[in-house]
């Protein structure tokens, strides 16, 4: 027997057995990124949106190297041999990652070649310098002279001019050359500044756009930059640096410590060096030595380095090559009360389904609180928010109006640390009481609490969500947000804020479940209850939707439930370490991933409670937490019970059902680890959850299930039976 967080599960220490029992976390993520990449060749998606998916797959891979591969490489260089729970040592994981990444980058290259041809057919061309006509050459000369050359700093590298520092994701050109009249070899560099666009537009007429890429431009003008040298060779390179941050738990001043760490991150070691295919061995060695990356990942590509920059082609893009415009709906309930958020929430709980319903309602809630003379206090968590955050502005307005405002700003939100530091200073200057949470926990919960004086009593109004307080992300991330005036929930949220500000653990919580205090234990109890129902001859069912399933203890609990006969349907967008469909282990578990127009981000967990699903008697929750060790053990998270009948109906019978029925954006996870796209060739049988909710942004309070609104041809039983993937 092995113990995880005080709870037992049956396992073995045998590496081979664990490899068969679980999928590797890193490889599972890479398979997710492959699903993103597949959308770049999906004919059902507009052309420039396919370019966007290709760019996203490259950006995802950059971050994967910055954090995950960097961590594994650190373990390897330190001689660590401890295995991941699926039985792989760091060295073996890196080998498998390298092999899989090679397949992904080759597929990215193939996708770009196809997309480039298709773009040309739509009169969007990426041209070679030799293909430019006289007018285009003149435009390029003027653009180079006015907007590119002044930003360039060409460098000769020798003992007097040492190899320069390039920032993370730095891109540039290396040159092999010799001074005219001599045979003395020398290397040079042309780093590309961040403000220089990757694609230089030579015309932007109504019917066509022609581009050249900056590396071709630099190659063309390099002889003029190094006029006193004979150029022998040029080569394009790109670097990725280790960008993870290790927080010192003994730091006396967390803000200054993070300022130091952010500076240190910028100088993290190079973890990946990308080179354009065909570079000579001498230039290759020059770059490897210059970036001190002898032991790191060296990748060569023949097509296009840094495909994340392909998003530049979407600037001023023709509408017909993009998704059809979609306008989110403002929640009807708020409109019915003439925009008075507090009156609407006091009347009934309100569930908002982003991005199909506007994030503006969240902004309006806080702006109204800032102006309302009866509001005396606002408490708010901030994990991620936008650079021009209206949420932060509302908190500042509230503080300047004399209200008691507390903001929990999480400094450890990866890649948003600098933004959060800036907002924290602005909030403090306005008189907001700013706290930075725990040193050893991240505050990942998305919670807002408004306390309003009504008569002789204080009444709480609470917002609890699965997504961040980020207005731009809310346009593309699917998330849930609950507004409630339930006083027990408000009291629980108040205790949670007291925990975050004073370390005083909340006691006697009536409704809200939190990590790391009780979420894992409650989750296990709920799974155990389904097992008990099955043993008693009643139905047992679990429907869950999340971004990632990694936690070994939860996986073992699900295996136990499957063996007991509980029917388990999992919708997991990204990483899934659970192996479904294995006899005597997980034969009653099915896993699918949805990848489409919107990024699935909401976490919803439903338990049958002894009744066939869906049912009014089912227990329904939504959460800020994925099922990962970091979420359950090392983060402040919320797990929110859904009690309102109308909200219960919307979450279970509409949102979860639509996701289960989706056959246009869905991939089925096989027991082998392979994902197979669910294919429905007859248009009359196709169903997209994203399309459905764009047409029906809000069904809450109408007393209808999806079955009432779904197209008549859909067989609802598909949600309960194993999915047969069309080959």
Both tokens of 185, joined, read 């070899």
C-alpha Rg value of the chain to the nearest Å: 27
Both tokens of 148, joined, read 């590119």
Contacts of 683 (CB under 8 A, 6+ apart): none
Q: Which of 56, 2, 215 is nearest to 597 (CA)?
A: 56
Q: Which of 148, 291, 306, 158 is nearest to 217 (CA)?
A: 148
C-alpha 76/C-alpha 465 separation (Å) is 39
- DSSP secondary structure letter of residue 320: G
C-alpha 4/C-alpha 609 separation (Å) is 26
Both tokens of 539, joined, read 């139905």
Q: Which of 437, 430, 342, 428 is nearest to 382 (CA)?
A: 437
The answer to whether 271 and 71 have CB atoms below 8 angstroms apart is no
Catalytic residue among 353, 354, 444, 533: 444
Both tokens of 478, joined, read 């699917």
Active-site residue 444, yes or no? yes
Q: Which of 454, 406, 403 is nearest to 428 (CA)?
A: 406
Both tokens of 189, joined, read 């560099």
The answer to whether 616 and 687 have CB atoms below 8 angstroms apart is no
Q: Work out the number of other CB atoms within 10 angstroms of the CB of residue 675.
A: 23
Identify whether 355 is preceded by a cis peptide bond (ω within 30 of 0): yes
> What is the phi-psi region of residue 191: left when phi exceeds 0, alpha when psi lies from -120 to 50, beta otherwise?
beta
Q: Which of 492, 494, 483 is nearest to 461 (CA)?
A: 483
**Residue whose pair of structure tokens reads 């996986």 in the numeric block:** 555
- DSSP secondary structure letter of residue 184: -
Both tokens of 166, joined, read 């390039």
CB burial string 93-130: b at 16+ within 10 A, e below: bbeebeebbeebbebbbebbeebbeebeeeebbbbeee
Q: Sheet of 124-126: strands edge to edge?
A: 124-126, 209-213, 199-204
Q: Which of 648, 658, 362, 602 is nearest to 478 (CA)?
A: 602
Catalytic residues: 444
């Amino acid at each position: 027997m092995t113990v995880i967080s005080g709870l037992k599960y049956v396992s073995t220490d045998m590496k081979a057995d664990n490899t068969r029992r679980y999928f590797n976390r890193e490889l599972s993520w890479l398979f997710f990124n492959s699903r993103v990449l597949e959308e770049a060749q999906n004919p059902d998606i507009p052309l420039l949106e396919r370019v966007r998916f290709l760019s996203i797959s490259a950006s995802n891979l950059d971050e994967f190297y910055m954090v995950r591969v960097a961590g594994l490489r650190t373990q390897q260089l330190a001689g660590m041999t401890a295995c991941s729970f699926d039985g792989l040592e760091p060295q073996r994981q890196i080998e498998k990652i390298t092999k899989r990444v090679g397949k992904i980058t080759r597929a990215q290259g193939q996708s770009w070649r196809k997309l480039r041809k298709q773009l040309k057919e739509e009169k969007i061309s990426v041209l070679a310098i030799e293909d430019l006509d006289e007018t285009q050459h003149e435009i390029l000369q003027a653009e180079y002279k006015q907007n590119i050359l002044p930003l360039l700093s060409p460098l000769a590298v020798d003992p007097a001019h040492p190899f320069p520092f390039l920032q993370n994701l730095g891109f540039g050109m290396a040159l092999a050359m010799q001074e005219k009249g001599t045979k003395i070899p020398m290397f040079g560099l042309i780093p590309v500044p961040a403000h220089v666009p990757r694609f230089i537009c030579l015309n932007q007429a109504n019917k066509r756009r022609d581009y050249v890429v900056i590396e071709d431009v630099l190659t063309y003008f390099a002889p003029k930059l190094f006029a006193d040298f004979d150029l022998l060779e040029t080569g394009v390179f790109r670097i990725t640096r280790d960008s993870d941050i290790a927080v010192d738990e003994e730091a006396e001043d967390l803000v200054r410590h993070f300022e130091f760490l952010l500076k240190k991150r910028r100088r993290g070691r190079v973890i990946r060096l990308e080179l354009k295919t065909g570079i000579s061995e001498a230039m290759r060695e020059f770059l490897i030595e210059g970036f001190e990356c002898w032991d790191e990942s060296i990748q060569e590509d023949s097509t296009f380095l840094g495909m994340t920059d392909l998003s530049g082609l979407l600037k001023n893009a023709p509408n017909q090559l993009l998704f059809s415009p979609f306008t989110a709906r403002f929640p009807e309930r708020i409109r019915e009360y003439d925009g008075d958020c507090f009156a609407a929430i006091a009347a009934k709980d309100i569930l908002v389904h982003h991005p199909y319903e506007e994030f503006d309602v969240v902004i309006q809630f806080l702006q109204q609180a800032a102006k309302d003379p009866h509001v005396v206090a606002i408490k708010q968590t901030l994990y991620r928010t936008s650079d021009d955050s209206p949420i932060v502005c509302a908190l500042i307005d509230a503080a300047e109006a004399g209200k008691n405002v507390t903001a929990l700003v999480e400094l450890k939100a990866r890649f948003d640390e600098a933004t959060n530091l800036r907002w924290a200073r602005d909030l403090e200057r306005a008189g907001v009481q700013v706290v930075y949470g725990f040193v050893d926990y991240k505050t990942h919960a998305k919670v807002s609490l408004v306390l309003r004086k009504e008569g002789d009593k204080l009444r709480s109004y609470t917002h609890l969500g699965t997504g961040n307080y980020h207005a731009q992300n809310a346009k593309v991330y699917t998330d849930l947000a609950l507004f409630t005036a339930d006083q027990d929930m408000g009291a629980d949220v108040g205790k949670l804020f007291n925990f975050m500000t004073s370390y005083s653990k909340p006691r006697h919580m009536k409704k809200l479940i939190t990590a790391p205090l009780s979420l894992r234990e409650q989750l296990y109890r709920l799974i155990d209850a389904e097992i008990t129902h099955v043993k008693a001859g009643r139905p047992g069912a679990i429907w869950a939707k999340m971004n990632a399933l990694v936690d070994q203890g939860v996986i073992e609990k699900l295996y136990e439930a499957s063996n007991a006969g509980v029917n388990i349907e999992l919708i997991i967008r990204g990483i899934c370490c659970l192996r479904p469909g294995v006899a005597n282990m997980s034969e009653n578990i099915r896993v699918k991933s949805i990848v489409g127009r919107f990024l699935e981000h909401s976490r919803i967990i439903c338990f049958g409670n002894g009744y066939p699903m869906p049912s009014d008697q089912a227990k329904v929750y939504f959460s800020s937490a994925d099922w990962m060790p970091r979420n359950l053990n090392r983060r402040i998270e919320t797990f929110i019970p859904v009690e309102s009948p109308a909200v219960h109906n919307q979450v279970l019978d509409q949102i979860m059902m639509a996701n289960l029925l989706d056959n246009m954006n869905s991939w089925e996870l096989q027991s082998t680890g392979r994902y197979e796209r669910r294919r429905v060739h007859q248009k009359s049988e196709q169903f997209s959850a994203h399309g459905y909710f764009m047409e029906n942004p809000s069904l809450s309070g109408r007393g209808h299930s999806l079955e009432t609104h779904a197209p008549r041809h859909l067989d609802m039983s598909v949600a309960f039976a194993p999915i047969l993937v069309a080959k």
